[in-house]
Structure formats: C-alpha cells, structure tokens
Structure 1
Amino acid sequence: MEREADVIIVGAGLSGLYAARELKAAGYEPLILEANDRTGGRILTESPLPGIPLEIGAQWIGDTHTRMFRLAAELGVQTYPQFEAGETKYELCGTGVLDQTEFYQRFGDDVASVNRVLATLDTLAATVSAEAPWLAPEAAQWDAITAGAWYDAQGLTPIARTLLEICTVGILAVPTVEVSFLHLLFTIQTCGVGAALFSEAEGGAQTTRFVGGTAQLTDRLAAQLSDQLILDAPVQTIEHSGDSVTVHCRGGRTFRAKRAIVAIAPTLASRILYDPALPGVRDQVTQRMPHGSAMKAFFIYEEPFWREDGFNGQFISDVGPAHMSNDTCIEGREEGVILAFLEGAQARTFHRWDEIKRREALIAQMVRVFGPKAAHPIAYVDGEWTERPWTRGCYNANMGPFVWTTYGHALSAPIGPLHWASTDTATQWSAYMEGAVESAERAVGEVLQSLA
C-alpha cells in the first residue's frame, strides 16, 4: 500500500482540484490521482509568444457564474471583459460575406424567426427540472426525437435553420441530429435561459476572461494541494466496499481511502474497472454520453486591424472550415488575436488534415471574411481534444434519444463509497467551468454527510 487518505479523488481537473480543496478545508485528507502529467483536465493554456496565453480549452465565464467569480477572487486571479464592440460578419447559404448591418437588412425576418424559436425553447425548458429531466411532463415525447428533427419542424428558412444549427453546435459540439430534444432543453435549463446560453453579450456565457489564462485557476489550486497530488497515475481498478475503496493505478501503485470521488467525464469513468461491478444502469448511461468534438485555431497578428474597420472579430459561416470566430486579444497587449472555432462535424473532418493544409484553408477563410490583412499572421496555433489520451473529447458530453428517460437517474447518484463529479454531471451550467465547481460541491457534500 503506497498511501492512505480519507478521500481519493480521481482526476485533477477543475472539479477534482476544487473538491480536494474543500475536503481539506473541512479537516479531511484528500489524495488526488491524475492520469496526465499536468493538472487542469479540459483547461489548457499555451503561450506560443511570451505574454500571449491562448486557451486551447476552457476560456470564458458568464455574468451569472458566481462560483467562478468567487473562486477567481479567492485565488487572486483577475478577470477582464470579452471584447464585443463592432459588427459581426455573416456568410450563410450562398449569400457571400455580409456585414452585420446588411445581413440584418436583408434577412431580418430570418433572424426574428430564430429569436421566436429561442423564446419557445425557453418556455419548454422551463418545464424541465435540471435535477430530474426525465420527470418533465413531455419528457417521453421530447426524448424520442432529436433536437435537429424538432428544428426541422419549425418551418424555418434555410438562412434561419442554418444560423440556429451553427449556434447550437457551438454549444453542444455535435450536430443537432445526434442529441435528443430533451437533452437540449436540459442544457438550456441548466444554463438559465436560451438567451443567456446563446448570447455573448451581457448576461451570456462568454462575457469574461482571466488575466494570465484560465490555467491560472487550476495551477493555483494545485499549488495549494501539492502534498495531496500525484501525477502520471492512471487509475485502472477501484475496489469498493461499504466503508472503503482501494484504488489500483498503472505500474502496480495502490492507494486506499474511505471514500472516492471520480471527478472525470462519465465516458472516461466507464473505462475504469470496478470491483464489484457497478450496476448495469450506471454503466449503460456512461456508454451513452460521448464527448463532443471541438478544435480551436488561433491567428496572431501584429495588431487587431478588424477593430479599426468597425468589426468585432466574429463571423458566422456555413462555408468553413470554421463556423464561428471571436476576437480573443489579450488585455494590455498590442497584438491582435482571432480565434476560429471548428466544432462538431467540422472538428471531426479538419483535425484529420495535415496541419499545414488546415492552416492554409483557415487562412483563406480569414482573408475571405476579414480581407487581405488577415493573410499573414505572425503566429498560428490550433488544438484539438479527441486525440488527447486522457480526455478524448471536448467540453460537452451529450445524450441521444431515450437516454435521459431510461438511464438519466443513474448519472450522479452515489454507489456505496463512490461519488461522481465533473461538469458533465452538473445541474447548473453543465459543460461550463461553473458546472465543474457545482458538481464538485455536490460530491463533497455527499462525502461529508456520509463520513459524518
């Protein structure tokens, strides 16, 4: 036996680190086992140029993410607002590249129809409990169809339907035909309302960034827990009984505790061997929660030239390779940075391309949208998540038809001394950092109650 603790935590992402800190503050000894050689999980900050941190993973918090604002303040990590001033570019259904003013002039009715659909989604989501979506009055009906099928039935024009698809895939990171309509409503409910979920303006989910990069949060948490943190320790087997767990890691390393919090995504948690085996319903739900696919591509320029032209660095395009972009300049720096998003089918396709070919295709898109000044970035960085062995996907885990109503009740329920955390199990802001902290709070509360 290499080491004993009160609670073993599997995974040193935001959920696991936060849970460990709270347990330590409550007087218990946590032990964090992380498969990777770094902490952070789906938070990853890289700096190709000094002073320019780029978020390969989680990047923003929103105005209502109270847990994250509180955590940042406690850790001494400052925040700054996401740049939004200026017009967005649109390129949909063969329109060519249009400035926002012209797009709204030509397709204002289409945008209005999208807003009506979002309002309907808000109304329907209000009937769905984030804690038990399978109990919604229309749960069986909504879980039997995909979000894409429901969208198709709304009588939208091609422009409106395409715009709605791109915005939704930006949240789910999979095509809407792969997600149950009930899951979409659950996602909206956990994040407040559709307007907050889809918006990048005030009240939205992407209004605020962290000075120095998001990894400042997990790095500082890890520094507080250095004596309780073991890296390069992939968990292979968890033996569990009523009052103890024995965790076996690769290389024959063994650890023991009274409780365990498995703070990794459900699909990764299912790859651990449990002895005795978990109930079939828990195994089945984790088999049906695949990660989404997402890639970020960053273009660094000598200056943010698009701002001088009255644009905010954002585009929405169905031509690709990227469907959306964002001004992601670093506060206090002169360089201009644009982030292009490839999500769902786009990420699945283009991450297989050679990097040089992918870069050339994306630069061609940047020139098409923002003009010849975009042709020569001083640096380019991209990052994708499905190839990373201890992540295997991006920020979201989605349920297809019939999963919530058949298996959903088993997602976060404790099993003996085993407890579950990760943003994928959250009931507030699931798939966001706020959700990671919320799920950790729930799991810690369960553990403290059981130990008491």
Structure 2
Amino acid sequence: MTERESDVVIIGAGIAGLTAAYRIKKLFPKCSVLVLEAKDRVGGRTYTVDLTAANGTDKWDLGGQWVCRHQHHILWLLEELGIETYKQWLDGKKLMQIGGHRIKSHNSNLPPLPLLSLLDLGRALDKIENMVKQVPRDDPRLSKRANEWDNMTLEALRDQVSYTHATRDTFDIAIAMISGIRPREISALHFLHYSSMAGSFENLFEADNGGAQEWKVKGGLQQVSELLTDKIGKENVILSEPVKSIDQTEETSVLVTSETGQNYRCKYVINASPLHCSVAMDYKPSIPLTRQSLANRSPVGHLFKFIITYKKAFWRENGFSGEILGNGGAPVIPGCDSGPIQLIYDSVTGYGNPALVGFYANAWQWRLVDLEVRKASVLKHLTEFLGEEAANPIHFIDKDWTIEPFNGGCPVNTATTSALSFFFDGIRTPHDRVHWAGTESATQWNGYLSGAVQSGMRAADEVLTRLTPEIKLDGLLQELDNKFPEPSSSSVRGAVVMVAGSAMVAGLCMFMYWYLT
C-alpha cells in the first residue's frame, strides 16, 4: 500500500483525540492531521442512540452522559460547538434500597439511614474529604501518606473510617456508581486522587450543586465528536482503522501501521486510546515499563447501562424524582446475587420525551443473563419502587461496555494497590515522539468527558510546542485549568451533622423530660 504522510497522527476518535486534532488545526491551520479510529464510528465512550419515544423518536446516551458547572474544559467545548445543556431532574421523592432491602423514601441528599449510621456516615465522609485534600491533583505520590494509602485497598480504607453496615453499603454503592469497580479492587490512593481531581468525593456522586451528574446535553454527547469531525474534515478521520504498530526507529519521523496494512508517516503521534488499549500496540522501541505496568495494574470498570422510554413521566406525576439508589435488593434469578437495579435517574430529554436511565447492580453477573430475562427483571424490580406503570414501557435497551470493541469496559481504568507508587510516571510522560491523551491522563475530572477534553488540549499543546516552537500558544488550557475551584465544605456532611445532632438533642430532651417527670 502507499504511505500517507501528515504532520501528526492521532490514535482514537473519541473526545480526547478529536479535541487534540481540533486544537492543533485551530492554532496551526497549516498543520496536517490524521485521526485513526479502530471502531466504525466516532465518539469513543460516548454513544448516542435513537429510540422510539412518546413523540416519535428521540436521542439518549448509552455512554457518557453528564456534565457539571465545575467541568470547565467540556463546557468550553460545548460552547465552542453551540451545544446546549439542561438540568438533571431531581424534584420529588427519592428512593433507596439497602441493608434489609426495605425501600425507603426521602426528600433530601441525606440517605434514609438509622441515626447511628447517619452519624457514622457523616464522620466517615469528613475523614475521607480531609484525606482527599492531602492528595495533589497533578501527582498523588507527593502526598505525605501516599505509600500508606497506595498499599491498602479502598475496602480497607472504608473499614478504617466507618463502622456500621448501612454506611459501608452506602459507600459501596457510591463507588460502584462512580467506577464500576468493587472497593476491594482499587488502591485507596487511586480513589483519593480520583476524588481530588473532581474537587471532592462528594462531587463524584452528587447530581446538584456542582456534582458530576448535574446537567445533561441536549441531543446527546456523541454529537460532540461528530461536530468535531466536521470541523477538522471527515476526510481526515479514518474509521475501522485499528493501529497495529508504532515505529520510531527513524530519527525524525514515526511510522504508524494499521491492521489493514496501511502505513502512515508523521512527525508526532498522539495516542488517545484508553490506557489498556494504548499498550496493546507494538512499539519500536518498546514503551517504558512504567506505562506498560501501570496499564497492566489498572483494570477498566464495568458499568452496564439501560434506557427505558415511556409514554409519560408517571413518576413525576406521582411525586417522585425518578432517582433510585440501591444494592440490587434480594436475588430474583439463579446466578445473580442480587436484583438488577443499582441506580436510576429521570431521563426525560430536552425535547420532553419521558424515560428512565439506569445501571445494573452486580453488572458482571447480569451481563451473563439473556436480554429478555434482564428486561423482565428490571421492569419487575422497578414496579416495586414506582408502581405498576413502570411495567409498560415503550422501549427498553441496554449496553454492556465490556463487549464494546476497543473499549472492553467503562468508564475508566482504576489502579490497584501499589500501581501509582511505582508506575505513575507512565501516565503522561511522552515516549519520544508519542504523546499520551485520554481521560485517564487528565489532572482534572479524570474519568469524565471534561478530563478527556483537558487531556486532548494538553497533548495538542505539547506537540505544537515541539512541532512549531515559533507558534505562541493562546494560554486557553491554563486559563481553563485555573478555573478549577478550591474544595468547599460538603453539603451532605453538613446536613448529616445537623440532622443527626438535632435528633440527638431531641432524644436527650425527651429522656430528660421522662426522667424528671
């Protein structure tokens, strides 16, 4: 085959890779850029689908979905592309199912736990947030307690800061929501660093006040990649072109070869594929052991998502927000240790079409169950929360990201114990002419769409600095980085303390009244 030449080859047409291409072309229009994508579509871990809805058809996200006010990099890109956001619906009663599997309702951010568990939860959150503040976003190894925390699992840290089963169950649900990984599989340092890059642990699991699930994108998030493709030129984005090898043995150029046998000659490469995918290619010379080892010790999470469309938003009419949180409840079929529902949110679109979005509990078990059985189990479980109207959807669809080609999981890679202490250098340090992007390499909102945008901007700036030293960068990346807010006091922790304290005072007053009279 003929050899195609360009200044820069970018591997991966997700948001990180396409942001890098867009920024290079915007700052240096004469630079030639090719984007090679292994899949037959752009978007990476975003995936928007058309579903039958109350008013014809509409779009929903089966991949990345939410943004928030503190995610300045993705917000900049959305504004650049003219894409609207709207608030995640939260009005009405919320539902929760943990412990003995009894369903309880509540109207605040506080979970409906017993008083002692609430006190324990508040105390645990306070300890965790204090630890988060001790972990630098740029490099977790700079924390004074880095070795201690990297040598223990998150489960061990959880047990160290909490005492009640209800608190630990609530914590486990939050971690499963965030990462798709069980606490026993994650380094405590990784978790604290991950939280630090979001400003706080609370920001990761909240859906208001700057929490990660605060806003949705009208029309779905895959359009970000589609619009970026239009701007850099569809002819410059080559689909179904998985990269096989990257050869840097020539002194002044890089030869990239695809599985189809096509050769691409360039001056620099930006590899924006997920961490575990980035090391699956052949490199000459070999990539540093730090990156290979970090990838080997950073399994990808497993979130298994479903969308259910309805004729009307009956839960809103009945006074519910649509938010459901749980650990799956009691087992309902052989082979699964729990029921199917872990998290549900209202997913009425920006065009008013009703739906619910949810995630499976014990995804690694439910993924082995036949689709029709999964669907029936979810709908039956949902009726226990929202009534019989939940049993009659228009459409049900789910997506198992573990079988998505060139992903093998979602949302992000998570480091096991000792991985960060020994191999963190591999995450962003260039391999000669190969630079790394992807949300795993972000310093703000790692694992999120905003982290992907930041990483793409950073890699683009790195390459432009080497490719065209005379070109002055615009300082936009630093400006967006500087908008990152300092950690604020936790609204959840404050509410826990206030409610639990009030309950204790009331109980003491009742006891004194009874004792004195």
| TM-score scaled by length of structure 2 | 0.84
Deviation, structure 1 residue 95: 4.5
Aligned to 2:243: 235
Aligned to 1:286: 295
Indicate conservation of the 8 Å contact 2:205/2:213, yes or no. Answer: no
Summarize the alignment of residues 172-251 of structure 1 with structure 2, pairs less than 5 Å apart.
172-225=179-232, 226-241=234-249, 242-251=251-260
CA distance in 2, matches of 1:40, 1:105: 38
Q: 1:105 to 1:439 in 2, by over 3 A?
A: closer
Count residues in correspondence: 449
User: Is 1:141 aligned to 2:152, yes or no?
Assistant: no
Aligned to 1:340: 358
Deviation, structure 1 residue 342: 2.0
User: Is 1:90 aligned to 2:61, yes or no?
Assistant: no
User: Is 1:254 aligned to 2:263, yes or no?
Assistant: yes
CA distance in 1, matches of 2:273, 2:398: 24
Q: 1:157 to 1:209 in 2, by over 3 A?
A: same
Q: Say which of 321, 324, 346 aligns to 1:327.
A: 346
Which string of whole-angstrom CA distances, capped at 9 and with x for unpartnered residues, describes residues 114-173 of structure 1? 233222222111111121111210111100101111112224211111011101211111
Indicate conservation of the 8 Å contact 1:243/1:259, yes or no. Answer: no
| TM-score scaled by length of structure 1 | 0.96
Aligned to 2:318: 309
Q: 1:417 to 1:423 in 2, by over 3 A?
A: same
Summarize the alignment of residues 23-422 of structure 1 with structure 2, pairs less than 5 Å apart.
23-27=24-28, 28-49=31-52, 50-100=56-106, 107-225=114-232, 226-241=234-249, 242-318=251-327, 319=329, 320-333=339-352, 335-342=353-360, 346-422=362-438
RMSD across aligned C-alpha pairs, in angstroms?
A: 1.5
Q: 1:93 to 1:213 in 2, by over 3 A?
A: same
Worse-superposed segment, 74-83 or 6-15: 74-83
Deviation, structure 1 residue 198: 2.0
CA distance in 2, matches of 1:105, 1:127: 30
Indicate conservation of the 8 Å contact 2:60/2:219, yes or no. Answer: no
Percent of residue pairs identical: 30
Which string of whole-angstrom CA distances, capped at 9 and with x for unpartnered residues, describes residues 325-365 of structure 1? 111111232x421111126xx11111111000111111111
Q: 1:30 to 1:108 in 2, by over 3 A?
A: farther
Q: Which runs of 4+ in 1 moved over 3 A?
A: 101-106
Which string of whole-angstrom CA distances, capped at 9 and with x for unpartnered residues, describes residues 245-268 of structure 1? 100001210001000000011100
Which string of whole-angstrom CA distances, capped at 9 and with x for unpartnered residues, describes residues 183-235 of structure 1? 01001100011222221112111111111111121110111121311111110
Q: 1:70 to 1:101 in 2, by over 3 A?
A: closer
Which AA in structure 2 matches 1:265?
A: P
Larger radius of gyration: 2
Q: 1:109 to 1:337 in 2, by over 3 A?
A: farther
Which string of whole-angstrom CA distances, capped at 9 and with x for unpartnered residues, describes residues 368-408 of structure 1? 11111111111101111110121111011100100000111
Q: Where do 5+ consecutive residues of structure 2 fail to align?
A: 330-338, 470-517
Q: Where do 5+ consecutive residues of structure 1 fail to align?
A: none
Deviation, structure 1 residue 107: 2.2
Q: 1:35 to 1:104 in 2, by over 3 A?
A: closer
CA distance in 1, matches of 2:464, 2:186: 35
Worse-superposed segment, 26-35 or 98-107: 98-107
